[in-house]
Structure 1
């Protein structure tokens, strides 16, 4: 048997789906960070994860085929297959973004100038022998609370730990994937590696049409990631409203991609090296694939097929949980803004959508900011760790959450 062959073995579909979700989301973060840093090392880690995703999706498909013993089973499991396929599409798209760096396809400097403001950087850090982190558990280090930098994955030898928890140790020789804002990440990177974190050089503004195209890429990236988050929320809560928002986001992405193409074509006639725009086109295409995959995840809900319990459980048990919490009348968040309560800083949770309830009825605010005002009855869709979800639960006054 070849080393790359995959044989059927009994596995938990729920566990495989949770790992696929975590892996795909990690790959999105890493691929854009590879572009930002111009890092072939980070890009190669993405491609290694893509190979692992290929194995995971095959195991999931084989297990689902074994579980379907009747037409009724097939109908119930069809949305699960849809989620498997969509998650694989996200993985492949992230791999395509990473290949832009590895194959040196070409990118305008303006893209690297725009990305730092749009993403939390993911850095690959090798734990030095004399690192103060070596030998300690994540609970002892308490990095996320102290620095807002999170260890999102650990590679030890050839094995990945995608869901490190407080009991996991950090050892010399481990490769850590750190995520956080650049200012905070630099100090943690220095402690881990014993070397200085080198940020990309700032780039001066250039051609106007190219700047517009780059701004579009950044917006497309944010919208596609938001679509994935909201899609997983829709299957977790079997929410028609959230699934409809995913469809709206995908339609807006199509329109944005058309404008992007026009700006790139206009910019191509005004720069010395139009070939440098190839990478930009590749990233736009991959980002559109991620948006389409988000719609595929929500497809079962949109078509009234509901959510299979195994998918909802997998989403809830994955590395980053998606939670739904309602603002109670006497809670700390009632009548104030997300920024005033420093929700992101205090809990580590990203609020990806808010459903407001007022005299005009229900309406969704996608990608709320610090100025978003909350009222009793508003529903938050947030993404983060289980411990962060518990802290956010306390702020909302909603005691219905179960993250144990």
Structure 2
């Protein structure tokens, strides 16, 4: 299991997190390729080496082209929280990237909404520079995917002090939305004038970090440094550390099941969506014959213990069942991450399955192959075989 520790020595912001993860080894071309599939303004993203008070770090240079035709609706392209969530939902991003991105935006919108006294869905991302923050947030979730990060933990976080100028005037640091997001998160003291932690940075901690504390007692694999824009008397960097725990990833999962014979296919489809949204690892339906030879459906849900109760509640609420059975299973899984592969059809995302250093699975992403197949007007199976072959030559030792 890959664990990433975010060491917020100088606070945390969106671009610092993204550059720290790329410095740690996340594949920038995979991140770029996936972001370019989204309906965003065109942008360029480069990593520039810089020195911050004696520490060499990566700095994220993000240039966003303002759209030329400034008619009203384009200007507010994906600016409302509800629109951003909708865009993520509709995208072809990997499932965990979607979940993580959505969670970060939900937390930030929740906090901003609370401050301004409006519903989270109506929050506008003008304050944060909407395009920047969309690219930072989804970019970080893609970087985590590229690194195969299962778990994120973080250090206590300093906020900085003084005042910051915002759209509405002078605000105390931490800015109100940042303070709101940091509830329940341990703070660190660092005497520095200025904003060390931004709402986006605080959003990552709130949505993605599962615990806070000092470096865990695990073997350290790699370290990356991401540089902030400002210069302080201390090194303005975020340190990201990668730990790999035991190569064989055995974990306990639960299987929940129930069967029903009086529920429509549409209702079952909707139930499946809800189960996946609430963290099910897998959901499948099997046709079965029940008493009096009635055709029915067996619902099977795979989940972790932390989601079990929520998923059981969904089964009761969304189906007609009167009971849910559960059993514990051990499963041995490959650690997986994504790489972008240059192919004759353009870049394709490849999912790699490792156990330790041994690569077992090389699997092209269905959506990318499907697009390549329809663009080149070749059969799906041929394009898939060709790309898989190329991927095996590229990634297998």
TM class by shorter chain equals under 0.3
More contact order relative to length (CA 8 Å, sep ≥ 6): 2
Higher-Rg structure is 2
Greater share of strand: 2
After TM superposition, the score normalised by the length of structure 2 is 0.27
